[in-house]
Structure 1
Amino acid sequence: MMDIFKAYLLNNSSVTASDIELVCQRAVARKLRRNEILLEAGNTCRHKVFVLSGLLRTYGLTPDGNEHILQFAPENNWTLDAESYNRGIPSKYNISAVEPSEILMWVKPDFDHLLLTIPGLKKFSDLLISDNMHGARNRLHTLLSAGPEEKYEDFLKNSAHLSNRLSLKMIAAYLGISLKTLNRVRQAQLQRY
């Protein structure tokens, strides 16, 4: 599975093959079962995570038990609770496996050292952070300004590859709408086509 990560870095960054070996040496591989929690709210996020296979979700729970999904991380994506990881504070969020997943993890001191010693990795990391910030801003704008139909259309436009891997309940929790509303929107969409 490490070959997947090596190919990912070779194809998407300027990190050299020898530096990729250093990054891989610091990684810890882990398998997660479906619904297994990687990070539980209240604990500090201590790892940067790369998803080799499977699908993870980052979510919060309201006091009444409703789930609000902030992010999905399918294969070839990174995930963590950045605030908890960077500040060393308890996380407000959970990260768990939507389906059986294989991941690579780096503890913060190790990854920070890699960023200091491998300029190509630092440049790539900065680019990913910037892209993530732009994506989060666009998602927030859609959540605040769009109606349920537009939210669902935006999801299909940007995340269609995930739609058959997620329950409708998870999609509704990601869009910030009720399951009943999502079913109504989907039904109306089917009637149009």
Structure 2
Amino acid sequence: MESFINYLQSHNLSAHSIDSLVSSANPEAFKKGEFVLRQGEVCRHKVFVEKGLLRTFGLTTDGNEHILQFSPENTWTLDVESYDRQIPALYNISAIEKTDVLIWERNDFERLRSELPELQSLSQQLISRNIYNSRHRLLTALGETPEQKYENFVHTSGDLLSRLPLRMIASFLGISLKTLTRIRKAQLHRQSK
């Protein structure tokens, strides 16, 4: 839990708030490919990634996967609509690699949020950041070329490149694997000159 404590300290939470959050957290480990949440289940947990990498994705009726988000170390994840409204999730969350997480039951986390103004403030910051990131991602998806999408991904998430299969990067960017391979090959060609 050391990385989680460091994370909370970096957000200036008091020792009391940190102790409350840590004492109510349930550590869990997920193997590569294991699901944290399956589409159709109700999301009843907040999840913090201590070590590893998760992906949030949906499946179309024809079986195509569309990745909405990657959640590496020191990030939170959940299906927000399912969590807030307690309805079946539209998305899956699964481990891309062995992943250690901390999990809070919904009732416990909401109680902590009401008792700890610092946690309420951190939650609001995270919600605002997620809204900004989602809007930026939507604008990128609608208005940028595949090359620009890839460059933006390299700029914002370059540390994930070596941890992700190309097919997942392509799915996240909304482009075909063939297009991504072409872009990367052209980029390598330019760099070798």
TM (norm. structure 1) is 0.97
Work out which of the residue numbers 119, 140, 145 in structure 2 matches 1:147.
145
Match of 1:80? 78
Unpaired runs of at least 5, structure 1? none
Percent identical across equivalent pairs? 51
Residue by residue over 1:81-123, the C-alpha shift from the partner in whole angstroms, topping out at 9 and shown as x without a partner, is 0000000000010000000000000111111100100001100
Please report how far the alpha carbon of residue 70 of structure 1 lies from its aligned counterpart in structure 2 after TM superposition: 0.1
Match of 2:177? 179
Match of 2:120? 122
One-letter code of the match for 2:151?
A: E
Match of 1:7? 6
Secondary structure, aligned partner of 1:188: helix
Matches within 5 A, 1:39-50: 39-50=37-48
Aligned partners of 1:18, 1:127: CA distance in 2, in Å?
Answer: 20
Please report how far the alpha carbon of residue 15 of structure 1 lies from its aligned counterpart in structure 2 after TM superposition: 1.8
Judge conservation of contact 1:15–1:118 (CA < 8 Å) in 2: no
Aligned partners of 2:135, 2:190: CA distance in 1, in Å?
Answer: 30
Aligned partners of 2:6, 2:158: CA distance in 1, in Å?
Answer: 24
Secondary structure, aligned partner of 1:99: coil
Q: What's the Cα RMSD here?
A: 0.7
Q: Are residue 94 (structure 1) and residue 92 (structure 2) matched? A: yes
Judge conservation of contact 1:27–1:105 (CA < 8 Å) in 2: yes
How many residue pairs get aligned? The number is: 191
Please report how far the alpha carbon of residue 63 of structure 1 lies from its aligned counterpart in structure 2 after TM superposition: 1.1
Residue by residue over 1:54-96, the C-alpha shift from the partner in whole angstroms, topping out at 9 and shown as x without a partner, is 0000000111111100000000000000000000000010000
Moved over 6 A (4+): none
Unpaired runs of at least 5, structure 2? none
